[in-house]
Structure 1
Amino acid sequence: MRSDDAQMPPGVPAPGSTPSAPTAHPPPGSFPPVTRKEIFAWCCFDFANSSFTTVLVSVVFVATFTNVLAPAESADSLWGLAIFIAQLVVVVLSPFLGAWADIFAAKKKLLFCSYITCVVFTASLWFFGPGAWQMAMACFIIAYIAFSLGENFTASFLPELATPANIGRISGYGWSFGYLGGLASLGLCFPLIGGGFTAGNLASLQLTNLVVAVFFAITAIPTFVFLHERALPRPDRPAAGALFVGIWAQVFGTLRKMALNNGLRTAFGSFFLYMCGVCVIITYSTPFAIKALGMQGKELILLFLIIQVTSAIGAFLFGFVQDKVGSIRTLQITLVIWTLVVIAASMVCTGTQFMILGNLAGLVIGATQAASRALVAQLAPESQHAEYFGLWALFGKLAGGCGPLLFGLLIGGPEDYPFALCVTTVFFLAGLVWLSIGAEDLAAQTKRVAETGRA
């Protein structure tokens, strides 16, 4: 890829802007064209923050919380509640902070604040044992809020870094880098897991939180050195309270507009459904492997190390598939695979069977999210990037809270996992059906935006 392939098109506003007040931009030539170094720096944040979602959300801390810290009779539902609370806060804050970032040209500054907050509260989890599970849950919620807001801020740079021709590849690069970061951080934690997810190994399990905090802190540095903030602050800066009320009024206006637009209704409605399923898999795979299949310690970590490799490969390869067949067809392919994988997962009995299915899921998990992110960028007219990415964040975070909360409420014991997984299949099937029914409207809108710049 040449460096000029990803040059920011003239007039593209920074994500986070409101449609009624265009973002102020530096004069032409104030910034050099987007280079490979800047794209690499953007990918570095995916590499860094994946240590949090892999080690804490998907593998080690979730296992520690549900097996050691929280009361056994309510551990799974408490974990789902923690995820739901964090995502609900993110849903409320995201539109306001997105607009704030645009008005004050502060995407990079807010990304830095979210990064520092996540690092600090991740490190704080080192201190809490079974007698302080409430504090551990609270600190995790704060760290997860910061992590999720950081995901929004880093995604908002994508339209500035990519063109319609390479957006699938660049989005895929970010996800594949993320899985490599998850692989590296999980590898660093591997020696600490040998004693299993038990009270006797708690000191080592707590140390993994410090490993993640340091890993995240160091590997995200290139992002803040090389990634540019291209917007300028606006001269009209409303008070914070007026901005919050105004932004939420705009959000409801955008939702009404979405309800009248077949393409948008299909894109975000199906996205919410299948992301409920994806988020369930991310947050409950480890409890399922431990409680239903009896996997422990290094066996489980080895499994997830392998899955990180297949996830990175899948995200990278599907980026090229997406540029070849389009985001819609790519999503349809991944959702068919997801449906089959989750149906099979409800019937597995051994760790070997789970490993096979886990690797199949790994091939499509990053591809699903990368294709979704790219589709939003393709649907958004130049003057409405903020509006569309705001909807993407809104529905993604709602799914990230609702899916795990429902799944956790269905789990009373290990014997309930097969039924809960069958319910999860409905999310993927419903998302696939809705996406397929509205595929023509979606394709027509992406073509119209590419040709005319208007929805």
Structure 2
Amino acid sequence: MKDTRKGIISWALYDWGNSAFATTVMAGFFPIFFSAYWSGGADSVTTTFYLGLANSIASLVIALLAPVLGAIADHGSYRKRLLVFFAFLGAVMTAGLWFVRSGQWVLAICFYIAATIGFSGGNTFYDSLLPSVASEKKIDYVSGLGYSLGYIGGGLLFLLNVLMYLMPETFGLPGDDGGATAIRVSFFMVAIWWAVFTIPLMLFVKEPERKEGGLGMGESIRTGLKELAVTFREIKTLKTVGIFLLAYWCYIDGVDTIIRMAVDYGTALGFPASSLIVALLITQFVAFPAALAYSWFGKLIGIRRALLVAIGAYGVISVMGFFMMKEIHFYILACLIGLFQGGIQALSRSYYTRLIPSSRSAQFFGFFNMLGKFAAIVGPLLMSLTTVITGDNRYGILSLVILFVIGGVMLTKVDEEEGRKSVAIFESRHERHMKGEK
């Protein structure tokens, strides 16, 4: 049953749990710790390159897996089970960072890549459960609620981890190691937090049932791969979906790259770790109300227009990042990112549900996440290579502007009404195919 309070809250609490990885690990402590502890004193250009490479490898793996896993989940009713598998993979690998010692940057990257695969893989199935939790009337609100709880949940744990880092003795941790023990303990706490807040979804969110019943795993794989090939061919009839995915591919690339590389960029500019951490906290707590408010803003001016506003804002943020000189500038950009980050992510997800066949949401969210992750391959590499070629991190952040420009232009070509008509034709054709009709 859709729109139940228990189902919505249980679904959204997964975002509360796994966002700790995005904040404490991905955006916060891993870039700082990688540069100061694991990389063995390498220069900022080198650490930026290796960090970007790690993010790109993780994104490539999940990009290749996402559409196949989505197809399997649609046919075998394995969405929840696969979500739990990837969630606990991510949690275990995050906990493994506790064991990585100074100078072991290769091992740190391996654990990080595996944890990021768990994080991204879990999100594929988390997103695909959204249409079964919320009706179209409430889907924008519920999508925004997930991101909002993610920001506040991840932000609260990150705040605690920051206090541990800044005042380790208060928490019974050694204070003479530069905060290394506090950060390693924080990684372990993220793993526990992520695992615990996966439990409500496991218990109270129902697996969507397929009309023809669930298939076995082997049959699901064979059928899913066949349908994946069919979808690649028939997506030509879903022109609106294709245009949106290309737009999303570009603009979310820039968004994800800024999320993952902002702290490394601030470090390269010489800002102290404490200032970078404060900026991340600002982003989290601004993003909490902003994600909910942006769903209202989308209803006020239209979802597509609201997305275009956010894309334009990110383009401005990239340009401002190029000219950033002082710590106060970093705080201002943190506020701006917080205002638009949750909105662009939540509305992209809910807008996509309006354009795809609901009967195969996991498979189409596989495409959605695949393109998002392929984009996340290009973004960090674009920023990293631009930095290496120019020898200046500022040109790396500036290079992201082109992605927002292309994404915005493509999004203006998306026609939602035409998309609904294409979906109706697609589903009718798919139903005849399943019945063996021509």
Question: The TM-score by the shorter chain falls in which range?
Answer: 0.7 to 0.9
Q: CA deviation at 1:173?
A: 0.5
Which residue pairs with 1:118 in the alignment?
90
Whether the 8 Å contact between 1:315 and 1:363 is mirrored in structure 2 is yes
Which residue pairs with 1:315 in the alignment?
291
Kindly report which structure 2 residues correspond to 1:81-96, keeping only aligned pairs within 5 A, or say none.
81-96=53-68
Which residue pairs with 1:237 in the alignment?
216
Q: CA deviation at 1:44?
A: 0.2
Whether the 8 Å contact between 2:68 and 2:366 is mirrored in structure 1 is no
Q: CA deviation at 1:394?
A: 1.2
* 1:134/1:354 CA distance change after superposition, 3 Å: same
Of 30, 33, 43, the residue aligned with 2:12 is 43
Kindly report which structure 2 residues correspond to 1:407-422, keeping only aligned pairs within 5 A, or say none.
407-412=383-388, 416-422=392-398
Q: CA deviation at 1:284?
A: 0.7
Whether the 8 Å contact between 2:290 and 2:339 is mirrored in structure 1 is yes
Q: CA deviation at 1:230?
A: 3.1
Structure 1 alignment gaps of length 5 or more: 1-6, 9-33
Which residue pairs with 2:435 in the alignment?
none
Whether the 8 Å contact between 2:16 and 2:152 is mirrored in structure 1 is yes
1:52 equivalent to 2:21? Answer: yes
Kindly report which structure 2 residues correspond to 1:353-432, keeping only aligned pairs within 5 A, or say none.
353-412=329-388, 416-432=392-408
Distance 1:179 1:413 in 2: 35
Whether the 8 Å contact between 1:378 and 1:449 is mirrored in structure 2 is no
Which residue pairs with 1:19 in the alignment?
none
One-letter amino acid of the structure 1 residue matched with residue 275 of structure 2: E
* 1:186/1:312 CA distance change after superposition, 3 Å: same
Which residue pairs with 2:436 in the alignment?
none
Distance 1:325 1:251 in 2: 35
Which residue pairs with 2:163 in the alignment?
191
Q: CA deviation at 1:156?
A: 0.8
Whether the 8 Å contact between 2:387 and 2:394 is mirrored in structure 1 is no
One-letter amino acid of the structure 2 residue matched with residue 273 of structure 1: C
* 1:285/1:239 CA distance change after superposition, 3 Å: same
Which residue pairs with 1:102 in the alignment?
74
Whether the 8 Å contact between 1:180 and 1:309 is mirrored in structure 2 is yes
Q: Deviations over 1:352-384 (max 9, x none)?
A: 011111211111111111111011100013334
* 1:449/1:188 CA distance change after superposition, 3 Å: same
Of 266, 273, 290, the residue aligned with 2:243 is 266
Distance 1:435 1:218 in 2: 38
Q: CA deviation at 1:69?
A: 0.9
Identity across matched positions, percent: 28
Query: What SS does structure 2 have at the residue aligned with 1:346?
Result: helix
* Aligned pairs, number: 418
One-letter amino acid of the structure 2 residue matched with residue 400 of structure 1: A
Of 419, 422, 425, the residue aligned with 1:445 is 419
Which residue pairs with 1:141 in the alignment?
113
Of 132, 136, 161, the residue aligned with 1:160 is 132
Distance 1:398 1:306 in 2: 29
Whether the 8 Å contact between 1:193 and 1:297 is mirrored in structure 2 is no
Whether the 8 Å contact between 1:264 and 1:442 is mirrored in structure 2 is no
Q: CA deviation at 1:385?
A: 2.5
Q: CA deviation at 1:57?
A: 0.7
Distance 2:305 2:425 in 1: 20
One-letter amino acid of the structure 2 residue matched with residue 63 of structure 1: I
Structure 2 alignment gaps of length 5 or more: 169-175, 430-438
1:179 equivalent to 2:151? Answer: yes
Q: CA deviation at 1:98?
A: 2.1
Which residue pairs with 1:303 in the alignment?
279
One-letter amino acid of the structure 1 residue matched with residue 218 of structure 2: A
Q: CA deviation at 1:97?
A: 2.2
* 1:66/1:297 CA distance change after superposition, 3 Å: closer
Distance 2:427 2:82 in 1: 29
TM-score normalised by length of structure 1: 0.85
Whether the 8 Å contact between 2:59 and 2:374 is mirrored in structure 1 is yes
Distance 1:305 1:200 in 2: 20
Query: What SS does structure 1 have at the residue aligned with 2:104?
Result: helix
Whether the 8 Å contact between 2:76 and 2:215 is mirrored in structure 1 is no
One-letter amino acid of the structure 2 residue matched with residue 442 of structure 1: E
TM-score normalised by length of structure 2: 0.88
Which residue pairs with 1:25 in the alignment?
none
Which is worse superposed, 387-396 or 248-257? 248-257
Kindly report which structure 2 residues correspond to 1:8-87, keeping only aligned pairs within 5 A, or say none.
8=2, 34-71=3-40, 72-73=42-43, 74-87=46-59
Of 260, 267, 277, the residue aligned with 1:283 is 260
* 1:416/1:258 CA distance change after superposition, 3 Å: farther
